[in-house]
Amino acid sequence: MSIELASGRATASADEKLMDNLRSELLIAKEMLKSIANSLTALGGRESLLLKKYVEEVSDSKKRVELMQRDFLTYFSKVAPSLYNREEWIGMFSKISGIIDKISGVAYRTEYLSMKSWNVPADIRGKLMEMVELLTSMLDEYIAMMNYALVNTSKALESRSKIAAAEAEMDSKYRAATFAVLEAPSLGLLALLLHDIAEMLEDVADLLNSASDDLYLITLSTSS
């Protein structure tokens, strides 16, 4: 076996292990989004105790991800010299970390809303729920892209295109949510928090779209 071939196999193994770690983080991010959806439902029913439970789920999930992030960085520091796509891997890691942080931020804001006497209009909650649902589908597509990235370039590109289209749709949903907030002047200070939540959800879509560029560059290099 040549040294070059052995090195190639080692690099492929490292790519697979890094991918497994980030895929696991995103599966937890999906759980967090489900808790966000449940939080918005509880917010509509003014069920503060139930909402607190969902926020705690998000917080616990974030702690699980933080352990995975440490494992990723520890392993990455060992294999980085052999990787062809060091910048793309660390870029994906950073953006996925940002996604986790943004989702956590949404959870804490919904909890804060539950502690106030404010009434969140049903149509605005509905628009936020649509954003959460679209993000969940984007995460599914990104995870599918991860599954294809190291084995099927054309399928990975197909997933990449779907993510880009979903991100454009998210822009539209973000505008709709923002306009709904602005057109309800009676909301007062509540409008600021609702706009923050919509903006954070839209930020998650942007981060996913950007991370898909990193992932596709990794796909191209491993297929060449």
Q: Supply the DSSP string of 173-198, one letter for each residue.
A: HHHHHHHHHHT-GGGTTHHHHHHHHH
d(CA 152, CA 217): 13
Tally of residues, the chain: 224
Is the pLDDT confidence value at 111 over 70? yes
Confidence (pLDDT) at 5: 34
Residue 8: pLDDT band by 50, 70, 90 thresholds? low
Three-state DSSP string of 16-59 = HHHHHHHHHHHHHHHHHHHHHHHHHHHHHCCCHHHHHHHHHHHH
State the CB neighbour count (10 A cutoff) for residue 16.
Answer: 14
CATH topology of domain 3-223: Methane Monooxygenase Hydroxylase; Chain G, domain 1 (1.20.58)
pLDDT of residue 43: 85
What number is the average pLDDT over the span 90-104? Answer: 97
If you ran DSSP here, which 8-state letter would residue 81 be given? Answer: G
Q: Is the dihedral of CA 179, 181, 182, 186 positive or negative?
A: positive
Mean pLDDT score, 162-172: 97
User: Which residues are CB-contacts of 93 (< 8 A; sequence separation ≥ 6)?
Assistant: 22, 69, 72, 73, 76
Q: Average pLDDT of the chain?
A: 91
